[in-house]
Amino acid sequence: MFPLHRGRRLRVNESIRSLVRETTLSPSDFMFPMFIAEGENVKVEIPSMPGIFRRSIDLTVEEVKELFDLGIRAVNIYVKVDESLKDNTGKEAWNPNGLMQRAIKAIKAACPEMIVMPDVALDPYSIYGHDGIIENGDIANDATNAALVKMAVSHAQAGADFVAPSDMMDGRVLRLREGLDAAGFHNVGIMSYSAKYASAFYGPFRDALDSAPKEADVVVPKDKKTYQMDYANRIEAVKEALWDVEEGADMVMVKPGIAYLDIVREVKDAVDVPVTVFHVSGEYAMIKAASERGWLDHDKIMMEQLMCIKRAGASLISTYFAKEAAILLKK
């Protein structure tokens, strides 16, 4: 009771504030999403994501070494697949000599201690831009799961530490766990995108990989709302996360980030595994655009959002700001 208790005593200066700070950030809290392209010495900036590039494997490896030196210990990798390799089966996704598989091998050879978590979903490989196989105008859940198992096993064979299914098919975590174990990869983990919402915040990401749903000469879903979650729902997120843990997920993810911190906290309170949060491309792009116009202080907003995600319950934050934030923290 005032005046015996004065909250401002613990805010007098930065030294006191740092002593009693409840949440802290370090570079090891971050995972950096990386886009990989074919070729050599290729570095193409993504227009809607200033400072983020599609890199060829050789330049990706150099970037990974820099990230590791900054204290970042995990990368989440995605590949830009040539149109000629896309079809409705996604078979290029488990090609042992595919771009993803070569990238995993190269990263692990150059930086063995970096944790590599390749994306497991068919949309980069699909002529329709969907995360699964199209049958009779819809996503064939179980046929897609069978394809995802082949994809995940090929990632494990290439050296992946975790696989990261982002597809949102029902039962895919169980099928992946069974498939990895049957192939002898008991120690390869699963970081499941458990509460992945059908969000408008993904636009720049889809520009980076050309993975948005496309018009076709057959009937296909016009969007991803039959498998990604309705952003009006909260209880469903907890249910999906609990199911994934029961099926063998080692980590669960909430995606997007800053607009979904209520979901992060609910999932964190419900599960007994680490919770990853994806601070997504649209969230990144908005900060970049506003700061370029002088409307926001870039570094302050970046660090505030990352701190808020951690405060909400994130064990790991997948963010395009990882490198910039790590450099700032090192200072």
Q: Which residues lie across from 253 on neighbouring strands? A: 193, 276
- The answer to whether 232 and 175 are in contact (CB under 8 A) is no
d(CA 302, CA 65): 23
- The answer to whether 305 and 279 are in contact (CB under 8 A) is yes
The answer on whether 66 is annotated among ligand-binding residues is: no
- The answer to whether 192 and 120 are in contact (CB under 8 A) is no
- The answer to whether 125 and 81 are in contact (CB under 8 A) is yes
Tokens 């800053």 locate to 258
102-106: long-range contacts, CB 8 A cutoff, minimum separation 24: 102/57, 102/158, 103/36, 103/57, 103/60, 103/77, 103/79, 104/77, 104/155, 104/158, 104/159, 104/160, 105/158, 105/159, 106/57, 106/58, 106/60, 106/61
Closest Cα partner for 90 from 160, 163, 167? 167
Residues labelled catalytic: 196, 255
What is the enclosing helix (H) or strand (E) of 292?
helix 281-292
DSSP state of 294: T
User: Which residues participate in the annotated binding site for Mg(2+)?
Assistant: 240
Annotated binding-site residues read 240
